[in-house]
Amino acid sequence: MNFGKVITAMVTPYNKAGEVDYAKVQKLTQHLLHNGSDAVLVCGTTGESPCLSLDERANLWAAAREAVGTEGKLILGTTDNETAYSCEVAKKAQQAGADALLAVAPYYNKPSQEGLYLHFAKIAASADIPIVLYNIPGRTGVNIQPETVLRLANDCPNIVAIKDATGSLDSVSVLRTMLPRDFAVYSGDDSLTLPVMSVGGDGVISVASHLIGNEIAAMINAYQAGDVARALELHLHYFEMFKKLFITTNPVPVKACLNLLGWDMGDCRLPLAPPSEQETAVLTELLKKYGLLA
């Protein structure tokens, strides 16, 4: 199953009191869907999900659901490192109108491959909507092996896609050789979107699309239309942005960029600290270089 080519992993806006700003959630959701995104992912890593209460998540889901309407797909990040809790949240997200769920590998626990299989299989059994696996070993400390993904794809009909943030084209290549073609494989790294497409990827779950969603969509469209030279030109042109949006822990840089552009998203919640003066200077110059900031 395909949720489009560009899915934005959306930041969570806060007001000056540090509370979630639901009006801005809706404004940003609409902006993204009108500027290159086919779907939005709410309450993922970029949305600071570990720092959101269940009530805040529920209100975020409702605000985003209303804003998305029929203009795109809404994917909700629901999982935690406890299986039973993840299943309960998955049920609530389905009731809230999610088109799909994002299920990240349990962090800190470091389960075996059997543990990962059982974790995701239980989540899949608790919800009747599509599920996107999320493999990001740099944050979770565990890697979902391709054989485990294949096992889940075979045994759980609603596990239909994976966000691969391993940083490894070999990983994506192995997935693509093993999985059925209708099982979607998304790049989890903006800088690897075009390389991932070249080995059978279906698109990107993006951070940079907050700023250049139309351009990322154009790159993917060019590649799929056979205009590899144009796709490469766009990839190389925006490569610096792809990398510098990760000069410190995501989502600190992209949120800082949005603030510099007047979106007033607030700082990230602790333990993520605001960007340093040096980092802010780098991001300011980046936005100027790409003509986003006067």
- CA dist 243 and 241 (Å) reads 5
Ramachandran angles phi, psi of 75, nearest 5°: -110, 130
Partners of 182 in beta bridges: none
With a CB cutoff of 8 Å and minimum separation 6, the contacts of 122 are 83, 86, 87
Instruction: Considering the candidates 14, 22, 117, 134, report the single residue annotated as catalytic.
Output: 134
**Residue 108 annotated as catalytic:** no
Residue type, 287: L
SS3 content of the chain, % helix, strand, coil (to 5): 50, 15, 35
**Residue 163 annotated as catalytic:** yes
- CA dist 51 and 53 (Å) reads 7
Smallest Cα–Cα separation from 236: which of 186, 191, 189, 291? 191
Instruction: Considering the candidates 5, 73, 163, 255, report the single residue annotated as catalytic.
Output: 163
Residue 44 CA from chain centroid, whole number: 6
For the chain, the first-to-last Cα distance in angstroms comes to 41
Q: Which helix (H) or strand (E) holds 261?
A: none
Q: Active-site positions?
A: 134, 163
